[in-house]
Amino acid sequence: MKIFILTLLVFSFGCSSQLSHTDSSRDIFDKIIHVQKVATKDELIKTFGQPLEIKPEDDISEEYAYKDFSTSVSKSSGKVLGTSMPYWVNFDAYNFLKKRFKNNKWIETEMPGTTSDIEEDKYKVELPELGITFEYDNQDPLRRPMWIFFN
């Protein structure tokens, strides 16, 4: 049994060491933030591949829809204008995001309630260095942003 556990540990250590030297160590947040910084359609496709669908959005932009997020791209210049990612996850999202971005400036502002028949305790979070914003409701046990915006 001990040998089996040791083997598992060696395997997982070996694998994680290998991953840390590859692109796979970057999570989806790193990748979206990178694309937003470069802000070109080419970089979006280079990083995430071809979108599942390209949909007309308005007069100036198109939506590049991926499995986990969507990006608005300028029709004329190919510039990336913004990204949104639904984040209705099954864990405490606030706790995760707070730890994930512990080294970044985190600005939290209380928001007025919008709904009269349900108790709300809403906050807006901004990470200005990374261009991330989202809202969460402290009344949601999992404190999830419905969408995270990057731009």
Partner 1 sequence: MAFIFLILFSSLAFAELCGPHEIYVREQWIESYTKTDSTNVRAHTRKAHCRELTRFNYYQDSTTQTFKKIKTNIKKWKPEEKKVVEEYLAKLPQWLKNYRLGEELRGDVGGNAHNPAAGIPLTRTLIVFDKFFEAPNKLAVLIHEVGHLTIMDLTNEEMAGFAKSSGWIIDRKKRIKIPPKTLIIPDSSESVSEDYANHIELYYSNPTLLKKLNPASYSFIGGIIKKREPK
Regarding 59 and contact with partner 1 (CB under 8 A), the answer is no
Residue 88: CB minimum distance to partner 1, A: 4
Rounded to the nearest 5°, which phi and psi values hold at 123? Answer: -135, 150
For partner 1, which residue of 25, 50, 77, 139 counts as binding (CB under 8 A)?
A: 139
- If one asks whether residue 15 binds partner 1 (CB under 8 A), the answer comes out as yes
Q: Does position 28 bind partner 1 by CB under 8 A?
A: no
- Looking up tokens 């942003």 gives 145
Residue type, 61: S
- Looking at the DSSP assignment, which residues form a beta bridge with residue 149? 84, 133
91 backbone dihedrals φ, ψ, rounded to 5° = -145, 170
Check binding of 142 to partner 1 (CB under 8 A): yes
**Contact at 8 Å (CB) between 108 and 125?**
yes
List interacting residues with partner 1 (CB under 8 A). Answer: 8, 11-12, 15, 61, 70-72, 81-84, 86-92, 95, 113-121, 133, 137-143, 146-147, 149, 151
